[in-house]
Amino acid sequence: MDTKELKIDWLYRLKKRMLFSLLGVLTVAIMVTMIFIAVNLRDTLVNDSKLKTHELAVTINSNLHHLMILRAPEAIQATLENIVEENESVIQATILNSQGSVTYSSDPSQIGRIYDRYEEGSCSVCHTRSGTEPEFDAVVLATDQETHRNISLIDNEKDCYDCHDPAKETIGKLIIDRSLESTYSLIQEIQLILIGAGVVCLIILVPLCSRLLLKGINKYILEIFTRNEELRLLYVMVERLSETLDMVLLKEIVIEIFKDILNADEVTLILARGEKEFSCSEWTRESDKVERKNITEDNGLNQILQDWLNGGLEKAKVSEGSKCLFMPIEKGGQRLALVFAKKKGNSFDMERLKLCSVISGHIAVAFDNARLYYIAITDELTKTFTRRHFRQCIDQTFIEYQQDGHKFALLMMDLDKFKQVNDTHGHVVGDAVLKQVGDIIHSSMRENDLVFRYGGEEFAVILPNTGEKGARYVAERIRSTTQAAVFKTGAIELKLTVSIGIETCPEAPSIHDLIVVADQALYAAKRQGRNQVVLADDSHKKSRRENVQPEEPL
C-alpha cells in the first residue's frame, strides 16, 4: 500500500468516526428532548387538572356557604348531586362535619359514614400522625383509577354561630374527587405522538442530517488535506531553495516550483543583471527543458518586462481569466527576478496562486543569498567566476562524473601578447580589454557552462556533458570571435588573439591531470604560433596542433 492509499484510508476512518459520533450525539439529543417534553408536559397537565379542581371547589364552597346560611339542606344535597351529573370528570363531592362524619354527599349512600382520618387509607395520605393538621390541600390518590382530591375547609363565620360553636374556626370540609383518567389518556396520546415524532426524526431527520454532516465533514477533511498538502509542499520547496547557492541550479529549482504548484504550461524566469540588464530562461511543457530565451520588442511579455525594469510592477499581477501570472521577486527594495507563468487550458487555482505568493518571500531570500554569494565568487572586472570558485566547481564536476559517468571538458585560454597592451597603453586600457574578453567568452557559452578568471589574462571554462567535438567547437568560436573583435577604449582600437588548450574527461584520470594537461595544451598553442586551439593527446605527453573548422557539438 503506497503513502497516498494510507492517507485516504486514514481519512476514511476519521470521517466514519466523526460521522458516527455526530449522529450519536444527534440521536441522544432527540431522545433526551422527547423525554424532557413528555415529562414536563405530564407535570403541566396534572398541575392544570389540580388548578381546575381547586377552582371548582372554590366555586362550590361559595355557593354552599350561601345555602347553609339559608338553612336549605335539600338544596345543598341537590347541588352536590348536580355537580357530579354535570361534570363527567367529578367522581364524588362530599361534605364532612368537624367529627369526620359525612353530612352531605353526591352519593347519598355515603351520608352518615364516619372517616377516621388516621385509619382511612384515603385520609392517611394527608394526616400522617395523630394531632397534626393536614399537610396538603390537594393530593393524587392511587385507587383503581388515579383520582385528584381537593380538600377545602368550610370556615365558621358569624352567620353560622346560630348552629355552630363560635369557638370553632372550621365547621367542616368540602372534598372534591376528580378523575384524572382523561388527563392521563391525553398524556398517553401526546407521548405516543412524541414517540412517533422521535421515530420519524430518527428515520428521516438523521439520514438527512447524516448527508449534510457527511458533506460538511468531507469539506472539512478536504480542507485539512489541502492545507496539509500545501504545508508539505511549502516545506519541500523551502528545503529545496535552501539546498544551493548556485544561481544556475536555483533558477531551475524556482522554475520547477512554479511549474509544480500551478501546473503551468509555460514558466519564464527573468533575472536582473543590473539597472536595465537581465537574463531570461524559459520552460515549456512541449520541450520539457529549461532554455535561454530572448525577449524581442514584439514579444507580448516585453511590455510587462519594461514595466518591471522601470519599477512599475511592484506586486503580483494576474491576467483576466487567471491564465497568466506575473510575479516580481524582490527583497529590501532590491529587484531580483520576475516570474511569468501561463496556463493554456483552465485557469489557475486561486489557492495555488496564494501559495505562490507565500513561497515568493522564500524565493526572494534564496535569490538574494545566491546574489551575495555570486558577488563573492565573481571577478568584479570580467564578471567571470574567481579561481577559488574554480576549484570547488571542478571538484564537484569530477565527482558527478565518477558517480554518473557524465563527461566534461576543460578549456584553458590566455590572451596573446597581452603584456604589451598594459605596457603600451596602461592598465586602464588593459582592464577594459579583459572586460570585453569576458563578455565574448560569456556570449559563446551555454546556460550551464562555467567561466572563470584563472589568472591575470588567463581564463578557464568548464563544459559539462561535452566531448571533444563540442569542446573544440566552443573553443574555436571563442578564438574566432576574439580575433574578429575590435577592442575600443576611448580613441584606442586594438586587435587581439587568444590561445586555447583543451582536455576532456574521462581521458584525464584525475583532476590534477586534467588541469595540468589542459595547461600544457595551452602552452603548446602558444609555442605553435598563438591564436591556436590545441587538444591534448591521450598520452598527455605531447600536444598536437588542431586546424579546426567550426562544427556542431554533439
> Are 434 and 413 within 8 A, CB to CB?
no
Q: CB-based burial of residue 455 (10 Å sphere; 0-12 exposed, 13-18 middle, 19+ buried)?
A: exposed
Q: CB-based burial of residue 175 (10 Å sphere; 0-12 exposed, 13-18 middle, 19+ buried)?
A: buried
DSSP per position, 183-222: HHHHHHHHHHHHHHHHHHIIIIIHHHHHHHHHHHHHHHHH
Same domain for 428 and 478?
A: yes
Residue 335 belongs to a domain: yes
Residue 171 belongs to a domain: yes
For the chain, how many structural domains are there in total? 3
Same domain for 337 and 424?
A: no
Same domain for 356 and 396?
A: no
pTM of the model: 0.53
> Are 56 and 87 within 8 A, CB to CB?
yes
Same domain for 397 and 354?
A: no
Residue 125 belongs to a domain: yes
Same domain for 129 and 257?
A: no
- 350-376 and 206-241 helices cross at what angle (nearest 10)? 10
Least confident of 325-334, 427-436, 476-485, 539-548: 539-548
> Are 536 and 503 within 8 A, CB to CB?
yes
Residue 326 belongs to a domain: yes
DSSP per position, 298-332: TSTTHHHHHHHHTT---S-EE-TTS-EEEEEEEET
Same domain for 367 and 420?
A: no
Residue 231 belongs to a domain: no
pLDDT at 26 over 70: no
Same domain for 179 and 279?
A: no
Same domain for 334 and 408?
A: no
- To the nearest whole percent, how much of the chain has pLDDT over 70? 75
DSSP per position, 451-487: EEE-SSSEEEEEEET--HHHHHHHHHHHHHHHHH--E
Query: For residue 287, what is the domain's CATH number?
Result: 3.30.450.40
> Are 362 and 238 within 8 A, CB to CB?
yes
Residues 199, 322: Cα–Cα separation, whole Å: 51
Greater pLDDT, 187 or 342: 342
Rounded mean pLDDT of 28-46?
A: 72
Residues 415, 436: Cα–Cα separation, whole Å: 12
Same domain for 404 and 541?
A: yes
pLDDT band at 15 (very low <50, low <70, confident <90, very high): low
Residue 378 belongs to a domain: no
Same domain for 334 and 428?
A: no
Q: Which residue has the cell 466514519?
A: 16
Tens digit of each residue's pLDDT (9 = 90 or more) over 2-13:
444 444 565 566
pLDDT band at 496 (very low <50, low <70, confident <90, very high): very high
Least confident of 192-206, 279-293, 297-311: 192-206
Query: For residue 151, what is the domain's CATH number?
Result: 3.30.450.20
Residues 391, 410: Cα–Cα separation, whole Å: 12
* Nearest residue to 327 via CA among 294, 362, 295, 292: 362
Give the end of a domain, one of 163, 185, 207.
185
Range of the domain at 140: 29-185
Same domain for 431 and 467?
A: yes
Tens digit of each residue's pLDDT (9 = 90 or more) over 533-553:
999 874 344 443 343 333 333
C-alpha cell at 521: 595544451
3-state secondary structure of 527: helix
Rounded mean pLDDT of 23-36?
A: 72
Give the end of a domain, one of 336, 371, 406.
371
Positive or negative: CA dihedral 20, 21, 25, 28: positive
Residues 161, 172: Cα–Cα separation, whole Å: 14
**Strand (E) positions, 238-289?**
266-272, 278-284
Residue 229 belongs to a domain: no
Residues 336, 235: Cα–Cα separation, whole Å: 22
Q: What share of the chain is helix, strand, coil (3-state, %, to 5)?
A: 50, 20, 30
Residues 359, 366: Cα–Cα separation, whole Å: 11
Same domain for 505 and 402?
A: yes
Residue 78 belongs to a domain: yes
Rounded mean pLDDT of 24-33?
A: 72
Tens digit of each residue's pLDDT (9 = 90 or more) over 246-258:
787 888 888 888 8
Cα 403 from chain centroid (whole Å): 41
